[in-house]
């Protein structure tokens, strides 16, 4: 079984939370029993999360050796120059080493997304832009660290696709079974 889930902002990619006060988890969305997240999506990120009851499938989806592309829509603070976009494409130096080259482009117009709760803080004096960034590796908070490294701090991060699977019209908290 493979499930596409639109993980809302500020939801953990696990079914339990031992912190106090407890945070929202996957348990609150009526998902089938015995499925687990294939990979993770940070608490403060949104979008496509794949869940499965098949450990081999989870491995194929998430192991870096399989290099499944993951595409993120990223709202950044500032307007990206051609040089900053090229730096993302070439790979940037992070504190844990250089990243692999990525696909990066300006999204114009901005993607039509649901309202986030709470909303991203709007500042009249600071422009923002949306990027599409596709990675074939998955380090901890990698997209946020990459955009920060080129001077474009991330304001909002939404995973749009993972391998051949896309978010499509799923709204936050909704899920669907995927054939195959």
Measured CA to CA, the distance from residue 20 to residue 168 in angstroms comes to: 34
Quick one: 37 exposed, middle or buried, by C-beta within 10 A (0-12, 13-18, 19+)?
Answer: buried
Catalytic residue numbers, as ranges: 42
How many helices (DSSP H) and strands (DSSP E) are in the chain?
3, 11
CA 49/CA 172 separation, integer angstroms: 11
Residue 173 Cα distances to 42, 133, 148, angstroms: 15, 23, 28
Ramachandran angles phi, psi of 54, nearest 5° = -115, 105
Question: Residue holding tokens 């799923």?
Answer: 170
158 neighbors 45 (Cβ within 8 angstroms): yes
**Ramachandran angles phi, psi of 94, nearest 5°:** -110, 170
């Amino acid at each position: 079984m493979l499930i596409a889930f639109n993980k809302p902002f500020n939801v953990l990619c696990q079914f339990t939370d031992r912190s106090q006060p407890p945070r929202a988890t996957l348990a609150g969305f009526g998902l089938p029993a015995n499925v687990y997240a294939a990979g993770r999506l940070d608490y403060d990120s949104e979008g496509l999360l794949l869940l499965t009851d098949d450990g081999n499938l989870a491995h194929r989806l998430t192991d870096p050796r399989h290099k499944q592309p993951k595409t993120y829509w990223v709202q950044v603070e500032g307007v990206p120059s051609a040089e900053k976009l090229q730096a993302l494409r070439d790979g940037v130096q992070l504190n844990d080493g250089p990243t692999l080259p990525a696909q990066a482009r300006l999204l114009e117009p901005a993607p039509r997304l649901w309202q986030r709760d709470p909303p991203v803080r709007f500042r009249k004096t600071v422009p923002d832009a949306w990027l599409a960034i596709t990675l074939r590796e998955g380090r901890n908070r990698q997209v946020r660290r990459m955009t920060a490294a080129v001077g474009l701090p991330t304001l909002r991060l939404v995973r749009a696709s993972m391998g051949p699977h896309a978010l499509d019209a799923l709204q936050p908290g909704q899920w669907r079974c995927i054939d195959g």
